[in-house]
Amino acid sequence: MTTFAWSALILAAGIYGAFCLVLFLTQAKLIFYPDIPSRQLAASPADIGLAYESVTLTTGDDVRIHGWFVPAPGAKGTLLFFHGNAGNISHRLDSLQIFHDLGLSCLIIDYRGYGRSEGAVSEQGTYLDAEAAWNYLAETRKIPAREIIVFGRSLGAAIAAYTASRHRPGALILESAFTSVPDMGARLYPFLPVRLLSRFSYDNRRALRSVACPLLVIHSRNDRTVPYENGRLLYDGYRGSKRFLEIQGEHNGGFLTSGSAYKEGIDDFIAAALAAPEEAGGKAARGRSGATPPLPGESAEGK
């Protein structure tokens, strides 16, 4: 090989290595988009005629996060809502209206670093935010776990699945969910060793192994952001009571495009899930001891 060829090879390797380093260091900016379109709250449930309470929760690591509790008269259940990776709770009013129309009270939170929530976002941090939200419903509002439906869309689906793996809600709904961040990264950057570089997991398949409640997976064949096959893999891999709802439309708007089919599918699932015996969910997350699995980086003894 000529000197020129060796030099070109070394230069290419250096550029490739530098690109890998940049990807490794900037992963958070590729996953979380709290500033798109803005961290400012653009509206509130009152703007669509819904009564609500503004709530501030303190997480296990003393970060204050913000959310809304939207009650529904005569609610048949309470939905714990984890949104996607961009924007904030004020950009989810369409969904809040749908859930309210279905007779569900709803708690929606902004993760740390989003909206009015303090702190800087991280995977571990989102799990702690979710735990604070669950505790608020279960301990402050005294809502029985069997009456809580955990819902997550896109990135929020991974947070929802993890929350359901630590507790025993009445049901779990995953909408437009991916299998894991490394899986998504490998699809987007097939020329990079993404699985070695990834500092984030959000592994839905692993979380579902410890979930013990009825599961609804919602996905569109037209989703070009998270391929439809991701939803099918999650559904096929779950060993408990489950349903699959195929919707139409793109990743961010399929729930609106699908209209009544979306609403009726969720309504039918929740009615069946909340009426089912507690044992129907699947493999118990807690085991005989009743202990929940630890958060990443948290020992079972030190929990």
**CATH code for position 66:** 3.40.50.1820
- What pLDDT score was predicted for residue 187? 73
2 in a structural domain: no
287 in a structural domain: no
Could you tell me the pTM of the whole model? 0.86
Mean pLDDT value of segment 140-145: 97
Give the count of domains, the chain: 1
93 in a structural domain: yes
Strand 148-153 and strand 77-82: the pairing is parallel
303 in a structural domain: no
What share of the chain has pLDDT > 90, as a percent? 73
Q: Degrees (nearest 5) of the Cα angle 210, 213, 217?
A: 90
297 in a structural domain: no
Confidence class of residue 276 from pLDDT cuts 50, 70 and 90?
confident
Mean pLDDT value of segment 113-140: 97
214 in a structural domain: yes
126 in a structural domain: yes
156 in a structural domain: yes
Q: Which domain holds residue 138?
A: 7-281
| pLDDT tens, position by position, 166-225 | 999 999 999 999 999 888 876 766 666 666 666 788 999 999 999 999 999 999 999 999
Residues in CB range of 2: below 8 A, 6 or more apart: none
Intra-chain end-to-end CA distance of the chain, in Å: 59
Question: Is the pLDDT reported for residue 53 higher than 70?
Answer: yes
Residue 163: how many other CB atoms lie within 10 Å: 25
Both tokens of 272, joined, read 């069946």
Confidence class of residue 292 from pLDDT cuts 50, 70 and 90?
very low
Question: Is the pLDDT reported for residue 19 higher than 70?
Answer: no
Question: Is the pLDDT reported for residue 66 higher than 50?
Answer: yes
Q: Kindly compute the dihedral angle of the four CA atoms of residues 271, 274, 278, 282, in this order, to the nearest 10 degrees.
A: 60
- What pLDDT score was predicted for residue 174? 98
Rounded CA-CA distance 167/178 in Å is 21
Both tokens of 244, joined, read 């699959």
Rounded CA-CA distance 96/90 in Å is 10
What is the dihedral sign for C-alpha 279, 283, 284, 287?
A: positive
